Protein backbone atom coordinates (compact mmCIF):
# COMPACT_ATOMS: atom_id res chain seq x y z
CA UNK A 1 0.00 0.00 0.00
CA UNK A 2 1.20 3.46 -0.80
CA UNK A 3 2.17 5.88 1.96
CA UNK A 4 1.76 9.63 1.71
CA UNK A 5 4.42 11.63 3.53
CA UNK A 6 4.03 15.35 4.14
CA UNK A 7 7.12 17.32 5.05
CA UNK A 8 7.13 20.97 6.00
CA UNK A 9 8.85 23.26 6.43
CA UNK A 10 11.61 21.66 4.37
CA UNK A 11 13.99 24.57 3.86
CA UNK A 12 16.86 25.44 6.16
CA UNK A 13 16.93 29.05 5.01
CA UNK A 14 13.25 29.92 5.10
CA UNK A 15 10.10 28.08 6.02
CA UNK A 16 7.46 28.56 3.38
CA UNK A 17 7.84 25.29 1.55
CA UNK A 18 6.16 21.92 2.03
CA UNK A 19 6.41 18.70 0.07
CA UNK A 20 3.98 15.82 -0.22
CA UNK A 21 5.26 12.55 -1.66
CA UNK A 22 3.56 9.25 -2.35
CA UNK A 23 5.84 6.29 -1.63
CA UNK A 24 5.09 2.89 -3.08
CA UNK A 25 7.43 -0.10 -3.16
CA UNK A 26 10.24 1.88 -1.52
CA UNK A 27 10.18 4.66 -4.12
CA UNK A 28 8.49 8.00 -4.66
CA UNK A 29 5.70 7.61 -7.21
CA UNK A 30 4.16 11.08 -7.01
CA UNK A 31 5.07 14.46 -5.55
CA UNK A 32 3.61 17.87 -4.91
CA UNK A 33 5.66 20.86 -3.89
CA UNK A 34 3.89 23.83 -2.30
CA UNK A 35 4.79 27.38 -1.36
CA UNK A 36 2.61 28.15 1.64
CA UNK A 37 3.02 31.91 1.76
CA UNK A 38 1.98 34.63 -0.68
CA UNK A 39 4.33 37.50 -1.35
CA UNK A 40 2.43 40.33 -2.94
CA UNK A 41 5.27 42.57 -4.13
CA UNK A 42 3.61 42.87 -7.52
CA UNK A 43 0.53 44.37 -5.84
CA UNK A 44 2.67 46.62 -3.61
CA UNK A 45 4.56 48.07 -6.58
CA UNK A 46 1.58 49.08 -8.70
CA UNK A 47 1.18 52.88 -8.71
CA UNK A 48 4.68 53.52 -7.30
CA UNK A 49 7.47 55.60 -8.81
CA UNK A 50 9.50 53.12 -10.91
CA UNK A 51 12.79 54.23 -9.35
CA UNK A 52 11.46 52.98 -6.01
CA UNK A 53 11.23 49.47 -7.47
CA UNK A 54 15.01 49.08 -7.28
CA UNK A 55 14.82 49.63 -3.52
CA UNK A 56 11.49 47.89 -2.79
CA UNK A 57 11.68 44.78 -5.00
CA UNK A 58 15.00 43.64 -3.52
CA UNK A 59 13.15 43.29 -0.15
CA UNK A 60 11.60 40.14 -1.65
CA UNK A 61 14.53 38.29 -0.13
CA UNK A 62 17.47 38.77 2.24
CA UNK A 63 19.60 36.19 0.41
CA UNK A 64 19.56 37.50 -3.13
CA UNK A 65 18.64 41.21 -2.86
CA UNK A 66 21.53 42.31 -5.08
CA UNK A 67 20.44 40.29 -8.13
CA UNK A 68 16.87 41.58 -7.69
CA UNK A 69 18.13 45.20 -7.49
CA UNK A 70 20.35 44.86 -10.58
CA UNK A 71 17.61 43.10 -12.56
CA UNK A 72 15.14 45.95 -11.86
CA UNK A 73 17.82 48.54 -12.68
CA UNK A 74 18.49 46.81 -16.00
CA UNK A 75 14.80 46.91 -16.92
CA UNK A 76 14.80 50.65 -16.13
CA UNK A 77 18.13 51.22 -17.96
CA UNK A 78 16.31 49.97 -21.01
CA UNK A 79 13.23 52.16 -20.44
CA UNK A 80 15.33 55.35 -20.08
CA UNK A 81 17.61 54.21 -22.92
CA UNK A 82 20.73 54.62 -20.78
CA UNK A 83 24.21 53.76 -21.92
CA UNK A 84 25.47 52.31 -18.67
CA UNK A 85 29.19 53.24 -18.40
CA UNK A 86 31.65 50.30 -18.38
CA UNK A 87 32.78 51.15 -14.82
CA UNK A 88 29.19 50.83 -13.59
CA UNK A 89 28.77 47.53 -15.43
CA UNK A 90 31.92 46.25 -13.70
CA UNK A 91 30.76 47.45 -10.26
CA UNK A 92 27.44 45.67 -10.82
CA UNK A 93 29.28 42.49 -11.90
CA UNK A 94 31.48 42.58 -8.80
CA UNK A 95 28.47 43.13 -6.52
CA UNK A 96 26.64 40.26 -8.20
CA UNK A 97 29.74 38.06 -8.00
CA UNK A 98 30.00 38.55 -4.24
CA UNK A 99 26.28 37.86 -3.88
CA UNK A 100 26.42 34.67 -5.96
CA UNK A 101 29.37 33.31 -4.06
CA UNK A 102 27.94 34.17 -0.60
CA UNK A 103 24.73 32.41 -1.56
CA UNK A 104 26.52 29.29 -2.88
CA UNK A 105 28.63 29.00 0.29
CA UNK A 106 25.52 29.27 2.43
CA UNK A 107 23.61 26.80 0.33
CA UNK A 108 26.35 24.17 0.17
CA UNK A 109 27.41 24.24 3.82
CA UNK A 110 24.49 25.58 5.83
CA UNK A 111 21.73 24.33 3.53
CA UNK A 112 22.79 20.87 2.38
CA UNK A 113 25.94 19.44 4.01
CA UNK A 114 24.03 18.17 7.03
CA UNK A 115 21.96 15.87 4.79
CA UNK A 116 25.09 13.79 4.09
CA UNK A 117 26.72 13.47 7.52
CA UNK A 118 25.81 12.38 11.01
CA UNK A 119 27.00 15.50 12.86
CA UNK A 120 26.64 13.83 16.26
CA UNK A 121 29.39 11.32 15.31
CA UNK A 122 31.94 14.10 15.82
CA UNK A 123 31.85 13.58 19.60
CA UNK A 124 33.73 10.29 19.03
CA UNK A 125 36.66 12.12 17.41
CA UNK A 126 39.83 10.93 19.13
CA UNK A 127 42.52 12.56 16.93
CA UNK A 128 44.98 15.27 17.90
CA UNK A 129 43.99 18.02 15.47
CA UNK A 130 43.16 20.96 17.74
CA UNK A 131 40.74 22.51 15.23
CA UNK A 132 38.75 19.28 15.03
CA UNK A 133 38.93 18.64 18.79
CA UNK A 134 37.37 22.08 19.34
CA UNK A 135 34.49 21.20 17.01
CA UNK A 136 33.97 17.88 18.83
CA UNK A 137 33.93 19.66 22.20
CA UNK A 138 31.46 22.29 20.97
CA UNK A 139 29.09 19.61 19.66
CA UNK A 140 29.24 17.65 22.93
CA UNK A 141 28.33 20.79 24.88
CA UNK A 142 25.41 21.42 22.51
CA UNK A 143 24.15 17.82 22.67
CA UNK A 144 24.49 17.67 26.49
CA UNK A 145 22.49 20.90 26.78
CA UNK A 146 19.57 19.19 25.00
CA UNK A 147 19.44 21.99 22.41
CA UNK A 148 21.72 21.17 19.51
CA UNK A 149 19.93 23.17 16.82
CA UNK A 150 20.60 23.34 13.91
CA UNK A 151 22.13 19.85 14.15
CA UNK A 152 19.30 18.24 16.04
CA UNK A 153 16.46 17.25 15.96
CA UNK A 154 17.00 15.50 12.63
CA UNK A 155 16.13 12.45 10.59
CA UNK A 156 18.38 9.51 11.40
CA UNK A 157 21.63 9.03 9.49
CA UNK A 158 21.19 6.32 6.85
CA UNK A 159 23.52 3.96 4.99
CA UNK A 160 24.74 6.80 2.76
CA UNK A 161 25.55 9.22 5.61
CA UNK A 162 29.18 9.86 6.55
CA UNK A 163 29.67 8.66 10.13
CA UNK A 164 33.43 8.38 10.46
CA UNK A 165 34.24 10.81 13.33
CA UNK A 166 37.36 12.27 11.66
CA UNK A 167 35.61 12.85 8.34
CA UNK A 168 32.60 14.40 10.07
CA UNK A 169 34.86 16.60 12.21
CA UNK A 170 36.66 17.88 9.11
CA UNK A 171 33.42 18.71 7.31
CA UNK A 172 31.89 20.35 10.38
CA UNK A 173 35.00 22.46 10.92
CA UNK A 174 34.60 23.66 7.33
CA UNK A 175 30.89 24.24 8.02
CA UNK A 176 31.83 26.73 10.76
CA UNK A 177 34.53 28.32 8.59
CA UNK A 178 31.87 28.72 5.89
CA UNK A 179 30.17 31.30 8.13
CA UNK A 180 33.34 33.40 7.98
CA UNK A 181 33.75 32.82 4.23
CA UNK A 182 30.16 33.89 3.62
CA UNK A 183 30.77 37.02 5.68
CA UNK A 184 33.80 37.79 3.56
CA UNK A 185 31.78 37.52 0.35
CA UNK A 186 29.04 39.73 1.80
CA UNK A 187 31.64 42.26 2.95
CA UNK A 188 32.82 42.45 -0.65
CA UNK A 189 29.26 43.25 -1.72
CA UNK A 190 29.01 45.92 0.99
CA UNK A 191 32.29 47.56 -0.08
CA UNK A 192 30.77 48.41 -3.47
CA UNK A 193 27.06 48.44 -2.62
CA UNK A 194 27.04 50.37 0.66
CA UNK A 195 25.59 47.47 2.64
CA UNK A 196 24.38 43.88 2.46
CA UNK A 197 21.69 42.61 2.55
CA UNK A 198 19.69 45.19 0.61
CA UNK A 199 22.02 47.35 -1.36
CA UNK A 200 22.17 51.10 -1.99
CA UNK A 201 24.39 52.03 -4.89
CA UNK A 202 22.69 50.54 -7.96
CA UNK A 203 20.37 52.90 -9.82
CA UNK A 204 18.90 53.10 -13.33
CA UNK A 205 21.71 54.27 -15.63
CA UNK A 206 24.59 52.91 -13.53
CA UNK A 207 25.77 53.21 -9.94
CA UNK A 208 25.90 56.10 -7.48
CA UNK A 209 29.42 56.20 -6.07
CA UNK A 210 32.85 56.32 -7.68
CA UNK A 211 35.15 53.59 -6.46
CA UNK A 212 38.40 54.67 -4.79
CA UNK A 213 41.73 52.86 -4.46
CA UNK A 214 41.03 52.00 -0.83
CA UNK A 215 37.84 50.11 -1.74
CA UNK A 216 39.61 48.30 -4.55
CA UNK A 217 42.44 47.21 -2.25
CA UNK A 218 40.00 45.99 0.42
CA UNK A 219 38.01 44.11 -2.19
CA UNK A 220 41.13 42.56 -3.71
CA UNK A 221 42.35 41.30 -0.35
CA UNK A 222 39.03 39.64 0.51
CA UNK A 223 38.70 38.19 -3.00
CA UNK A 224 42.12 36.53 -2.88
CA UNK A 225 41.44 34.86 0.47
CA UNK A 226 37.96 33.79 -0.53
CA UNK A 227 39.11 32.39 -3.88
CA UNK A 228 41.69 30.19 -2.19
CA UNK A 229 39.15 28.89 0.34
CA UNK A 230 36.57 28.06 -2.30
CA UNK A 231 39.04 26.17 -4.45
CA UNK A 232 40.87 24.25 -1.74
CA UNK A 233 38.03 23.67 0.75
CA UNK A 234 34.53 24.02 -0.72
CA UNK A 235 35.20 22.49 -4.13
CA UNK A 236 37.10 19.59 -2.52
CA UNK A 237 34.24 18.97 -0.07
CA UNK A 238 31.74 18.98 -2.93
CA UNK A 239 33.84 16.44 -4.83
CA UNK A 240 34.17 14.18 -1.82
CA UNK A 241 30.41 14.25 -1.18
CA UNK A 242 29.64 13.57 -4.83
CA UNK A 243 32.03 10.65 -5.02
CA UNK A 244 31.45 9.46 -1.43
CA UNK A 245 27.98 9.20 0.08
CA UNK A 246 26.28 10.16 -3.13
CA UNK A 247 28.40 7.84 -5.26
CA UNK A 248 25.93 4.94 -5.18
CA UNK A 249 23.15 7.28 -6.31
CA UNK A 250 25.07 9.26 -8.93
CA UNK A 251 24.88 6.92 -11.90
CA UNK A 252 21.24 6.09 -11.25
CA UNK A 253 20.42 9.73 -11.84
CA UNK A 254 19.12 10.17 -8.29
CA UNK A 255 17.13 13.41 -8.48
CA UNK A 256 16.86 13.64 -12.28
CA UNK A 257 13.85 15.45 -13.69
CA UNK A 258 12.75 16.68 -17.10
CA UNK A 259 16.02 17.29 -19.03
CA UNK A 260 15.13 20.93 -19.77
CA UNK A 261 17.41 23.74 -18.64
CA UNK A 262 17.14 27.52 -18.81
CA UNK A 263 19.59 30.32 -18.14
CA UNK A 264 19.19 34.06 -18.66
CA UNK A 265 22.94 34.40 -18.23
CA UNK A 266 24.84 36.50 -15.72
CA UNK A 267 27.70 39.02 -15.62
CA UNK A 268 27.51 41.41 -18.55
CA UNK A 269 30.63 41.54 -20.70
CA UNK A 270 29.76 44.44 -22.94
CA UNK A 271 26.56 46.43 -22.83
CA UNK A 272 24.73 46.23 -19.53
CA UNK A 273 21.55 44.17 -19.67
CA UNK A 274 22.42 42.42 -22.94
CA UNK A 275 21.68 38.79 -22.16
CA UNK A 276 23.37 37.74 -25.41
CA UNK A 277 26.82 38.71 -24.16
CA UNK A 278 27.42 37.38 -20.69
CA UNK A 279 30.23 35.52 -18.91
CA UNK A 280 27.72 32.84 -17.91
CA UNK A 281 25.69 32.61 -21.12
CA UNK A 282 21.96 32.68 -21.62
CA UNK A 283 20.18 29.88 -23.46
CA UNK A 284 17.70 27.05 -23.28
CA UNK A 285 18.04 23.30 -23.61
CA UNK A 286 14.96 21.20 -24.18
CA UNK A 287 14.93 17.40 -24.03
CA UNK A 288 18.71 17.21 -23.62
CA UNK A 289 20.49 13.94 -24.26
CA UNK A 290 22.37 13.77 -20.96
CA UNK A 291 24.48 10.81 -22.06
CA UNK A 292 25.86 12.66 -25.09
CA UNK A 293 25.49 16.24 -24.00
CA UNK A 294 28.25 17.59 -26.27
CA UNK A 295 25.90 17.08 -29.22
CA UNK A 296 23.04 18.93 -27.56
CA UNK A 297 21.90 22.16 -29.21
CA UNK A 298 21.77 25.19 -26.96
CA UNK A 299 18.98 27.45 -28.19
CA UNK A 300 19.07 31.22 -28.01
CA UNK A 301 16.95 32.67 -25.25
CA UNK A 302 13.64 34.04 -26.53
CA UNK A 303 11.82 35.89 -23.71
CA UNK A 304 8.51 35.79 -25.61
CA UNK A 305 8.44 32.02 -24.97
CA UNK A 306 8.06 32.54 -21.20
CA UNK A 307 4.53 32.02 -19.88
CA UNK A 308 2.91 31.59 -16.47
CA UNK A 309 0.55 28.70 -15.82
CA UNK A 310 -1.88 29.49 -13.01
CA UNK A 311 -4.04 26.34 -13.10
CA UNK A 312 -2.78 24.72 -9.85
CA UNK A 313 -1.65 27.89 -8.06
CA UNK A 314 -3.84 30.02 -5.78
CA UNK A 315 -4.41 32.78 -8.34
CA UNK A 316 -7.32 33.79 -10.52
CA UNK A 317 -7.01 32.34 -14.01
CA UNK A 318 -7.86 35.42 -16.10
CA UNK A 319 -4.21 35.65 -17.17
CA UNK A 320 -3.44 31.94 -17.41
CA UNK A 321 -0.78 31.02 -19.96
CA UNK A 322 0.25 34.61 -20.72
CA UNK A 323 3.69 36.15 -20.82
CA UNK A 324 4.50 37.72 -17.39
CA UNK A 325 4.47 41.18 -18.99
CA UNK A 326 0.69 40.80 -19.30
CA UNK A 327 -0.09 39.15 -15.96
CA UNK A 328 -1.77 41.06 -13.13
CA UNK A 329 -1.50 39.18 -9.83
CA UNK A 330 -4.92 38.26 -8.39
CA UNK A 331 -4.93 35.97 -5.35
CA UNK A 332 -7.50 33.16 -5.17
CA UNK A 333 -6.55 31.21 -2.01
CA UNK A 334 -9.80 29.17 -1.95
CA UNK A 335 -9.52 28.00 -5.54
CA UNK A 336 -10.42 24.39 -6.15
CA UNK A 337 -7.45 22.35 -7.38
CA UNK A 338 -4.94 24.93 -6.18
CA UNK A 339 -2.20 23.70 -3.88
CA UNK A 340 0.50 26.39 -3.82
CA UNK A 341 1.26 30.09 -3.98
CA UNK A 342 4.03 29.35 -6.49
CA UNK A 343 2.99 29.93 -10.10
CA UNK A 344 3.97 27.61 -12.92
CA UNK A 345 6.36 29.39 -15.27
CA UNK A 346 7.02 27.51 -18.49
CA UNK A 347 9.32 28.06 -21.48
CA UNK A 348 7.91 26.84 -24.77
CA UNK A 349 5.26 25.26 -22.53
CA UNK A 350 7.95 23.15 -20.81
CA UNK A 351 8.98 23.06 -17.14
CA UNK A 352 12.64 24.17 -16.94
CA UNK A 353 15.29 23.48 -14.31
CA UNK A 354 17.21 26.65 -13.45
CA UNK A 355 20.27 27.30 -11.28
CA UNK A 356 24.03 26.58 -11.29
CA UNK A 357 23.62 23.19 -12.99
CA UNK A 358 21.47 24.71 -15.75
CA UNK A 359 24.07 27.45 -16.22
CA UNK A 360 26.98 25.03 -16.48
CA UNK A 361 25.08 22.92 -19.02
CA UNK A 362 23.97 25.90 -21.11
CA UNK A 363 27.62 27.04 -21.04
CA UNK A 364 28.75 23.51 -21.91
CA UNK A 365 31.50 24.15 -19.42
CA UNK A 366 34.27 21.69 -20.14
CA UNK A 367 35.72 21.78 -16.62
CA UNK A 368 32.35 21.02 -15.09
CA UNK A 369 31.68 18.15 -17.50
CA UNK A 370 35.06 16.67 -16.64
CA UNK A 371 34.37 16.99 -12.92
CA UNK A 372 31.02 15.26 -13.28
CA UNK A 373 32.64 12.45 -15.24
CA UNK A 374 35.43 12.02 -12.67
CA UNK A 375 32.98 11.72 -9.81
CA UNK A 376 30.62 9.53 -11.83
CA UNK A 377 27.76 12.01 -11.46
CA UNK A 378 25.04 11.82 -14.09
CA UNK A 379 24.60 15.28 -15.64
CA UNK A 380 21.19 15.80 -14.07
CA UNK A 381 21.37 14.46 -10.55
CA UNK A 382 21.73 15.48 -6.91
CA UNK A 383 25.55 15.24 -6.97
CA UNK A 384 25.68 17.20 -10.26
CA UNK A 385 23.74 20.06 -8.61
CA UNK A 386 26.07 20.17 -5.60
CA UNK A 387 29.15 20.04 -7.82
CA UNK A 388 27.84 22.73 -10.15
CA UNK A 389 27.27 25.07 -7.20
CA UNK A 390 30.80 24.71 -5.83
CA UNK A 391 32.43 24.66 -9.26
CA UNK A 392 30.57 27.80 -10.35
CA UNK A 393 31.51 29.67 -7.15
CA UNK A 394 35.15 29.02 -8.01
CA UNK A 395 34.66 30.06 -11.64
CA UNK A 396 33.07 33.36 -10.57
CA UNK A 397 35.70 34.36 -7.97
CA UNK A 398 38.47 33.65 -10.47
CA UNK A 399 36.79 35.85 -13.11
CA UNK A 400 36.18 38.67 -10.61
CA UNK A 401 39.94 39.27 -10.32
CA UNK A 402 39.99 40.50 -13.95
CA UNK A 403 36.89 42.66 -13.50
CA UNK A 404 38.52 44.33 -10.51
CA UNK A 405 41.61 45.13 -12.62
CA UNK A 406 39.38 46.53 -15.38
CA UNK A 407 37.51 48.63 -12.82
CA UNK A 408 40.78 50.01 -11.44
CA UNK A 409 41.77 51.08 -14.95
CA UNK A 410 38.36 52.61 -15.64
CA UNK A 411 38.39 54.64 -12.41
CA UNK A 412 41.96 55.85 -13.09
CA UNK A 413 40.85 56.94 -16.55
CA UNK A 414 38.17 59.03 -14.87
CA UNK A 415 35.28 57.25 -16.60
CA UNK A 416 31.72 58.08 -15.59
CA UNK A 417 29.54 55.83 -13.46
CA UNK A 418 25.99 56.76 -14.38
CA UNK A 419 24.05 57.81 -17.46
CA UNK A 420 21.32 59.56 -15.53
CA UNK A 421 18.28 60.21 -17.72
CA UNK A 422 14.69 61.13 -16.92
CA UNK A 423 12.04 58.43 -16.93
CA UNK A 424 9.37 58.60 -19.61
CA UNK A 425 5.67 58.59 -18.74
CA UNK A 426 5.10 55.30 -20.45
CA UNK A 427 7.18 52.36 -21.53
CA UNK A 428 7.69 48.70 -20.83
CA UNK A 429 10.65 46.45 -20.41
CA UNK A 430 12.00 43.37 -18.73
CA UNK A 431 15.16 42.73 -16.76
CA UNK A 432 16.41 39.16 -17.22
CA UNK A 433 19.39 38.01 -15.20
CA UNK A 434 20.46 34.83 -13.49
CA UNK A 435 20.48 35.10 -9.69
CA UNK A 436 22.35 32.37 -7.70
CA UNK A 437 19.34 30.01 -7.86
CA UNK A 438 18.66 30.65 -11.52
CA UNK A 439 16.64 32.69 -13.98
CA UNK A 440 15.20 35.89 -12.51
CA UNK A 441 12.90 38.25 -14.42
CA UNK A 442 11.28 41.55 -13.51
CA UNK A 443 8.66 42.79 -16.03
CA UNK A 444 7.72 46.47 -15.70
CA UNK A 445 5.17 48.56 -17.52
CA UNK A 446 4.73 52.30 -16.87
CA UNK A 447 1.72 54.53 -17.30
CA UNK A 448 1.54 58.20 -16.33
CA UNK A 449 5.10 57.95 -15.00
CA UNK A 450 4.10 55.30 -12.46
CA UNK A 451 4.25 51.49 -12.40
CA UNK A 452 1.17 50.07 -14.06
CA UNK A 453 1.98 46.36 -14.28
CA UNK A 454 4.76 44.62 -12.36
CA UNK A 455 5.60 40.96 -12.47
CA UNK A 456 8.48 39.00 -10.94
CA UNK A 457 9.31 35.42 -11.82
CA UNK A 458 12.14 34.27 -9.59
CA UNK A 459 14.36 31.20 -9.88
CA UNK A 460 12.62 29.14 -7.23
CA UNK A 461 9.31 29.84 -8.96
CA UNK A 462 10.67 27.86 -11.90
CA UNK A 463 12.09 25.00 -9.82
CA UNK A 464 9.31 24.73 -7.22
CA UNK A 465 6.51 25.25 -9.70
CA UNK A 466 3.38 23.08 -9.62
CA UNK A 467 1.79 21.06 -12.39
CA UNK A 468 0.43 22.82 -15.47
CA UNK A 469 -2.71 22.19 -17.52
CA UNK A 470 -0.84 19.44 -19.43
CA UNK A 471 -0.19 17.82 -16.01
CA UNK A 472 3.55 18.21 -16.42
CA UNK A 473 5.00 18.35 -12.94
CA UNK A 474 7.30 21.18 -11.84
CA UNK A 475 11.07 20.43 -11.90
CA UNK A 476 11.46 19.54 -8.19
CA UNK A 477 8.27 17.45 -8.27
CA UNK A 478 9.55 15.51 -11.27
CA UNK A 479 13.04 15.12 -9.77
CA UNK A 480 11.45 13.43 -6.75
CA UNK A 481 9.89 10.63 -8.81
CA UNK A 482 11.72 7.31 -8.23
CA UNK A 483 13.66 8.66 -5.25
CA UNK A 484 14.43 5.66 -3.06
CA UNK A 485 12.71 5.83 0.34
CA UNK A 486 13.57 2.53 2.03
CA UNK A 487 12.05 3.69 5.35
CA UNK A 488 8.97 5.94 5.20
CA UNK A 489 9.67 7.07 8.76
CA UNK A 490 13.03 8.43 7.61
CA UNK A 491 12.55 10.12 4.21
CA UNK A 492 16.03 11.67 4.13
CA UNK A 493 16.43 11.12 0.38
CA UNK A 494 13.36 13.26 -0.31
CA UNK A 495 15.03 16.16 1.47
CA UNK A 496 18.32 15.52 -0.33
CA UNK A 497 16.60 15.86 -3.69
CA UNK A 498 14.60 18.97 -2.74
CA UNK A 499 17.55 20.75 -1.13
CA UNK A 500 19.85 20.03 -4.08
CA UNK A 501 17.83 22.74 -5.88
CA UNK A 502 18.58 25.20 -3.05
CA UNK A 503 14.99 26.47 -3.10
CA UNK A 504 14.24 29.87 -1.63
CA UNK A 505 10.51 30.20 -1.25
CA UNK A 506 10.37 33.82 -0.11
CA UNK A 507 11.61 34.58 -3.58
CA UNK A 508 9.21 32.19 -5.23
CA UNK A 509 5.83 32.84 -3.67
CA UNK A 510 3.54 35.57 -4.22
CA UNK A 511 0.23 35.78 2.90
CA UNK A 512 0.44 32.96 5.20
CA UNK A 513 -2.34 30.44 4.61
CA UNK A 514 -3.36 31.11 8.21
CA UNK A 515 -4.12 27.55 9.27
CA UNK A 516 -0.77 27.34 11.00
CA UNK A 517 -0.83 23.56 11.46
CA UNK A 518 2.33 21.47 11.72
CA UNK A 519 2.57 18.87 8.96
CA UNK A 520 5.18 16.74 10.56
CA UNK A 521 7.58 16.97 13.47
CA UNK A 522 11.17 15.92 12.98
CA UNK A 523 12.63 13.95 15.89
NI1 LIG B 1 15.50 34.23 -2.02
FE2 LIG B 1 16.64 34.27 -5.09
C3 LIG B 1 18.16 33.63 -5.75
C4 LIG B 1 16.14 35.17 -6.53
S5 LIG B 1 15.60 32.50 -5.48
S6 LIG B 1 17.22 33.69 -3.03
O7 LIG B 1 19.09 33.17 -6.05
O8 LIG B 1 15.83 35.78 -7.38
O9 LIG B 1 14.15 32.34 -6.13
MG1 LIG C 1 5.33 36.98 -10.05
Of all ligands present, the nearest one to the C-alpha of 264 is 1
Instruction: Please state, in angstroms and rounded to a whole number, the distance separating the CA atoms of residues 33 and 316.
Output: 19
Q: Which atom belonging to ligand 1 lies closest to the Cα atom of 436?
A: 7
- Ligand 1 pocket test: which of 458, 463, 508 has the largest number of ligand atoms within 8 Å of its C-beta? 458
The rounded Å distance from CA 67 to ligand 2 centre is 16
Counting atoms of ligand 1 from 1, which one is nearest the CA of 463? 9
Q: Give CA–CA dist 307/259, Å, rounded.
A: 19
Ligand number nearest CA of 330 is: 2
Going from the Cα of 251 to the center of ligand 1, the distance in angstroms, rounded, reads 29
> Is the sign of the CA dihedral 368, 358, 495, 104 positive or negative?
positive
Q: State the Cα–Cα distance between residues 19 and 26, nearest whole angstrom.
A: 17
Q: Which long-range contacts (CB under 8 A, 24 or more apart) does 452-455 make?
A: 452/46, 453/46, 453/325, 453/326, 453/327, 453/328, 453/428, 454/41, 454/42, 454/45, 454/46, 454/53, 455/42, 455/308, 455/324, 455/325, 455/327, 455/329
Determine the distance separating the centroid of ligand 1 and the alpha carbon of 447, expressed in angstroms: 28
Interval between CA 506 and ligand 1 midpoint (Å): 8
* Index of the ligand 1 atom closest to the CA of residue 506: 1
Atom from ligand 1 closest to the CA of residue 68: 8
Q: Residues near ligand 1 with C-beta < 6 Å?
A: 61, 63-64, 67-68, 103, 435-437, 440, 458-460, 504, 506-508
pLDDT digits (tens, 9 = 90+) for 75-123: 999 999 999 999 999 999 999 999 999 999 999 999 999 999 999 999 9
- CA of 492 from ligand 1 middle (Å) equals 24
- Whole-angstrom Cα distance, residue 102 to residue 96? 10
Distance 382 CA to ligand 2 centre (A): 27
**pLDDT of res. 509:** 63
Of 112, 389, 113, 233, whose CA–CA distance to 122 is shortest?
A: 113
pLDDT at 1: 80
Residues of the chain with pLDDT under 70: 509-523
> Going by C-beta distance under 8 Å and a sequence separation of 6 or more, which residues neighbour residue 141?
none
* pLDDT value of residue 16: 80
- Ligand 1 pocket test: which of 355, 436, 508 has the largest number of ligand atoms within 8 Å of its C-beta? 436
The predicted structure's pLDDT at residue 152: 84
Q: Which ligand is nearest to the CA of 40?
A: 2
Q: Which atom of ligand 1 is nearest to the CA of 437?
A: 7
Amino acid sequence: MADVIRLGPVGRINEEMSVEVTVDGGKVTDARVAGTMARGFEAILRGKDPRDAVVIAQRICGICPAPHAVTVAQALDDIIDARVPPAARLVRNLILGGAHVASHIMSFYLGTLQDYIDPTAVVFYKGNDQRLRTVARKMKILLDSGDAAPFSPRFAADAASIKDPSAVAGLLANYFDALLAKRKAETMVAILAGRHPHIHTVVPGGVTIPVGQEQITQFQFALRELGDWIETVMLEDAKSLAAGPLGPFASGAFGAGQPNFLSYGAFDLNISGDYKDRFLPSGAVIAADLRDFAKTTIRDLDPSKITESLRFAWYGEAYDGRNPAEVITEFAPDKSGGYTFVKGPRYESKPMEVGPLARMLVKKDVGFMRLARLTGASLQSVPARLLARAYEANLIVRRMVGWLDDLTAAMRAGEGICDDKPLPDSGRSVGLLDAPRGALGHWISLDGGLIDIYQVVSPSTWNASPRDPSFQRGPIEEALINTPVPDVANPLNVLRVVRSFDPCLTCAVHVVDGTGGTFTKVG
